[in-house]
Structure 1
Amino acid sequence: MEIIDFEAIMERFMSSKTDHKIQYCIFDIIYFRGKKVTQYPLVEKKALIDSIIEPTEAVTKVQWMMYGRKAYFNLVKQNELEGVVLKRAYSTYQMNKRSYDCLKVINYQYTDAYVTGMRKGDFGLLLSVEEDGVLKPGGIMEFMRLAAKKQFYLQSSELIVDENKKFIFLDSKIKCRVKFRNYTGWFIKDPVFC
C-alpha cells in the first residue's frame, strides 16, 4: 500500500525550496493519441494505461483493484489514512460532473479534545488533546453546527484567560468529541504555541 502524505504535497506546491520530490500519479486517461477516450469503461482505460505507462521514480500508476475493497479499506483504517475512492469498473468518465460512479469514502477519526481558544476573524476553535495528563495542541476546528456554535459563544466569554493578535485563549473547561480526516502538522510550526 502506497502512503500519500498530503501535507508534504501541499508544502511542495507552496514552496520551491523543499526537499520533497514530485511524483506524477496517473489514475485515469482522457485523451490518447489525440482522440478522446472518456467514453471507454474504466477497466479498459486502466488496461490502456498499463499498456503505455512504464512506472519510474517520477511517474507512477495509482493502484486499483476490482475486488477486496472492504479488506483494503480496513488497511486504510489500520494505517490511519484519509480514505479511498470507489469507482464503478464499467463507468465512463463524465467531464465537469459529479457522479455516483465515483465516490470518496473517508476514514473519519474521532478524538476527545478541549477547546483552549478561538481564532479572531474567521471562525476557528483551538483544540488541545490530553497526552499523559498534559494538554498539547491538537488543531483548529473550523466547522461546527450552528446550535453548537451558539451554545459555545454563550459559555466562552466567561472562560477568557489571554489573547494575542490572532487568538483569544480560553480556560480548558469545554470538552468535545471531534470528527476529523487526519492529523496535520500546522501546530508544530505555528508560533502561537511555541
Structure 2
Amino acid sequence: MFTSPMLLYKAPNNKPFNSDLHITELKLDGIRLIIDYRDKVKIYTRHNNDVTSKFPELVENIPIRKGTTLDGELIVTDSDGKPNFESVMERFMSKRSKHKVAFCAFDIINFEGKSVTSKPLLQRKEILSSAFIDNEFYAKSIFIKGNGIEYFNVAKEQKLEGVVLKDIRSKYEIDKRSDKWLKVIAYEIGEYYIAGYKTNEFGWLLSDGKQIVGVMTLAVGANERKAGYKVFQQLKKSETEDTVYIDPVIKCVVKHRGYTKNNLLRLPEFESFVF
C-alpha cells in the first residue's frame, strides 16, 4: 500500500544553521523509496511507481516486522563508501547491473500495524531505532542534534551532496512539502563559457574553454534569457537541427553537483553573468 511521502524545502539562501530544535543528517545521493510491509512487501518510488520486482534482494532480506512502513533512500556506494547517483540509477534501470544496493531508512510511517505519523520526529526516530537490526541491505540514517553548520562543512569537504535539517517536533506530513525539513546542497561553483543554445527546448551549452561540459536549463530567469538571446544572435558560428553554436566569449557563474563519469556537469544552475 503506497503512502505519499513528506517532502522538504530548500533552506533559505541554501545556508545551514545551528539549532538545538533540529537534527542534522546527511542528504544521501540516491533514490527516495517507501518500503511497505503491511500486507506483503511492496517497494514504491515517491511518485507511486511500484518497483518491488526491481529489488528482490530488498524483499528477501527485509528485517522489519509485518505492519511497518519505512521512508528512506536507496543508495549505491563507491569505492570510498560515498553514495554514487549514477551507479544507483544504473542499478535502478537494470537488474543485470552488478551494483549492490542498500536502503537507508530515515523515518518510519507505520509500526506494527499502527500509524506513527502524529508523533514528533524524535519519537519516530526512537521507534525506528528499535524497528529492525541493520543488515547488509538495510541501515538507519545517522543523525546528530544541531551542529548543522559543522556537519554541512564536513559534507562539502568530503564532496557529499549536503545535509537535511529537521525540526525535532515535526510530525510526518503525508503528501506535503514542509518547511520543517530543510535541505542544504553542497554545490560546487565555477565559471563557464556559453557555447551555444538549444532550439527545440530551452538550454544553454556550457564549455570549460576546451569542450562542451553540459547543457544548463535551471535557474535562468526571463530577463537573462532575453538578454542572452539578443547577444547570441551576433555570435553565431554554426547550427544543427536543434542546436546553435556561438563564439564562447560570454562567461557565467554556475553552481552544480559535481561531474558525471562522462565529465559533464551534473544539474548545472545559473548564478550570474561574469562581466
TM norm structure 2: 0.61
Match of 1:91 in 2: 170
Alignment equivalent of 2:246, drawn from 155, 160, 170: 170
Letter in 2 for 1:105: V
Match of 2:140 in 1: 61
Match of 2:97 in 1: 18
Residues 1-194 of structure 1 correspond to what in structure 2 (within 5 A)?
3-130=82-209, 135-143=210-218, 144-185=220-261
Work out the percentage of aligned pairs sharing the same amino acid.
38
Are 2:111 and 2:131, in contact at CA under 8 Å, matched by a contact in 1? no
Are 2:195 and 2:247, in contact at CA under 8 Å, matched by a contact in 1? yes
Letter in 2 for 1:148: E
Displacement of 1:81 after TM fit? 2.4
Rounded Cα–Cα distance in structure 2 between residues aligned with 1:42 and 1:95: 13
Q: Aligned in 2, Cα 1:160/1:187: closer, same or farther, shift over 3 Å?
A: farther
Rounded Cα–Cα distance in structure 2 between residues aligned with 1:139 and 1:38: 41
Q: Aligned in 2, Cα 1:22/1:48: closer, same or farther, shift over 3 Å?
A: same
Rounded Cα–Cα distance in structure 1 between residues aligned with 2:95 and 2:233: 43
Q: Which structure carries more relative contact order (alpha carbon 8 Å, separation 6+)?
A: 2
Which has a greater percent of helix?
A: 1
Letter in 1 for 2:194: V
Rounded Cα–Cα distance in structure 2 between residues aligned with 1:15 and 1:154: 44
Letter in 1 for 2:236: I
Rounded Cα–Cα distance in structure 1 between residues aligned with 2:125 and 2:205: 44
For the residue of structure 2 that corresponds to 1:10, the secondary structure is helix
Rounded Cα–Cα distance in structure 1 between residues aligned with 2:161 and 2:194: 24
For the residue of structure 2 that corresponds to 1:9, the secondary structure is helix
The runs of 5 or more residues in structure 2 that have no matched partner are 1-25, 27-80, 265-275
Displacement of 1:120 after TM fit? 2.8
TM norm structure 1: 0.84
Over the aligned positions, Cα root-mean-square deviation in angstroms equals: 2.0
Are 1:137 and 1:187, in contact at CA under 8 Å, matched by a contact in 2? no
Displacement of 1:124 after TM fit? 0.8
Rounded Cα–Cα distance in structure 2 between residues aligned with 1:82 and 1:164: 36
The runs of 5 or more residues in structure 1 that have no matched partner are 189-194
Aligned residues: 184
Please, which moves more after superposition, 163-172 or 74-83? 163-172
Q: Aligned in 2, Cα 1:128/1:24: closer, same or farther, shift over 3 Å?
A: same
